[in-house]
Amino acid sequence: MSRKQIVILGAGTGGTMTANRLRRRFDPDEAEIHVIDRDDRHVYQPGLLFVPFGLAQVEEIVRPRRRQLRNGVVFHQNEVEEVWIERDEMLLDDGTVLPYDVLVVATGVRLQPEETEGMTGAGWNERVFTFYDPEGAEALRGALERFDGGRLVVNLVDMPIKCPVAPLEFAFLADWHLRERGVRHRTELVYATPLDGAFTKPIASEHLAGLLTEKEIELVTEFNAGEVDGIGGTLTSYDGRELDFDLLVTIPLHGGAPYVERSPGLGDALGFVPTDKRTLQTPAKPNVFALGDATDLPTSKAGSVTHFEAEVLTENIARYLADRELDADYDGHANCFIETGFHKALLIDFNYETEPLPGHFPTVFGLPLLRESRLNHLGKLAFQWVYWHALLPGREIPGIGPAMPTAGKKRTPVHT
């Protein structure tokens, strides 16, 4: 085939992995691979959870984006102004018009705290914090150090959010942290969620609600935050319920990257990119693909999802360029460690059809599922090394493939 130009938007987990996998797959004379990102800071996002507790430093979890890309991948540090999918080209902020044969959207999400009334007003980063970006996580660390009791409210404003278990993990770790510091007995810890339970999936939701009770964390459900008063310390829901706080840890609304909304026909009303849940091709145009948090897929916005998608995506791009039918199939596989404090963690593993079940991963001799264990905590810690050294470079990780394993699960998953 003639030399193709593949352009990948975003050099986070999905973009980096895809670029590296494609670079290995194609000779330099078969494909040119370009990656575009607005900055050169690749954040190991699972590490953000630990920053507020002083268990990780921001500089330990941030590395240059370009250094994670293989030789032969061209990195551009630019904002994307607009993608013109009809013309197979895009406009960058320096005026460059970049054409492509294949486009991969991997720009993740952006946080939109300003979309909730009052949130970024007075009190923002004083009494109201988010740990979903490095600056917020760092600011929250200071506030937690100074926290001497009172009401700490953890609230996710609305789904979808990145890593739906992270707010729960934050509550568990806050409980542990405050106990260690001897101020837990004068702290009311509240977990407020718009969901009707602790989590989205019934069996895991029950387990996690049990953990909240055990740790004396109050669960407030179906709470749709509409307004924040950062001076008075009140969070009000759309149906008029009020939660008082001394410290509010919020997970703000999420939307897609700004250029997605500016690009005709690419995204939905929230800036997410409609994407085929099996092939990862977009209905916008056959040569446009998407993965990771940027998509509208009905699965978690999480690194594990992006990892499994990247394998399928690489195969499908190769098929598309060879004029073959796309048949690589993503099953919605996700898997997440859930830190529960006291050096323990839970592990959950699921896909589009199968909710998280108890058992072991990936086989009966593996890590315990849906149960607190030290082994899972060590697994979570070890994962950072795996991320930089195996996952991003696009190496295979033994035993962890895109298809969800069923061997160790306690109930035989039923595929519908």
Partner 1 sequence: MTMTPIADAPVDVDAEGFLTDPEQWNERIAQSIAAGNGVPELTDRHWLVVTFMRERYLATGTAPSIRSLGKESGVPIKELYQLFPKGPAKLAAKIGGIPKPKGCI
Cα-based torsion angle of the residue sequence 386, 390, 391, 397 in order, rounded to the nearest 10 degrees: -90
189 C-beta neighbours (distance < 10 Å), count: 19
Q: Which CB, 158 or 244, lies closer to partner 1?
A: 158
Out of 96, 145, 238, 286, name the contact with partner 1 by CB under 8 A: 238
CB of 252 to partner 1, least distance (A): 12
When asked if residue 207 is in the footprint of partner 1 (CB under 8 A), the reply is no
When asked if residue 222 is in the footprint of partner 1 (CB under 8 A), the reply is yes
When asked if residue 239 is in the footprint of partner 1 (CB under 8 A), the reply is yes
Out of 57, 96, 213, 224, name the contact with partner 1 by CB under 8 A: 224
- The interface with partner 1 within residues 11-30 (CB under 8 A) comprises none
348 C-beta neighbours (distance < 10 Å), count: 25
CB of 164 to partner 1, least distance (A): 7
Angle of helix 13-25 relative to helix 303-321, nearest 10 degrees, comes to 40
When asked if residue 226 is in the footprint of partner 1 (CB under 8 A), the reply is yes
Q: Which pair of tokens denotes residue 201?
A: 């999936």
When asked if residue 160 is in the footprint of partner 1 (CB under 8 A), the reply is yes
How far is the C-alpha of 243 from the C-alpha of 223, rounded, in Å?
10
In this chain, which stretch among 153-161, 181-189, 372-380, 399-407 interacts with partner 1, using CB under 8 A? Answer: 153-161
CB of 399 to partner 1, least distance (A): 24
Burial class (CB in 10 A: 0-12, 13-18, 19+), 359: buried
- The interface with partner 1 within residues 254-313 (CB under 8 A) comprises 268-270, 298-300
When asked if residue 200 is in the footprint of partner 1 (CB under 8 A), the reply is yes
When asked if residue 196 is in the footprint of partner 1 (CB under 8 A), the reply is yes
Q: Which CB, 256 or 366, lies closer to partner 1?
A: 256
Q: Which CB, 152 or 305, lies closer to partner 1?
A: 305
227 three-class SS: strand
Q: Are strands 285-290 and 225-229 parallel, antiparallel or unpaired?
A: unpaired
| Exposure string over 139-169, b if 16+ CB within 10 A, otherwise e | bbbebbeebeeebbbbbbbbebbbbbbbbbb
> What is the residue whose two structure tokens read 């000779």?
27
95 C-beta neighbours (distance < 10 Å), count: 8
In this chain, which stretch among 1-9, 220-228, 340-348, 395-403 interacts with partner 1, using CB under 8 A? Answer: 220-228
What residues make contact with partner 1 under the rule CB under 8 A?
A: 158-160, 164, 195-196, 200-201, 222, 224, 226, 238-239, 253, 268-270, 298-300
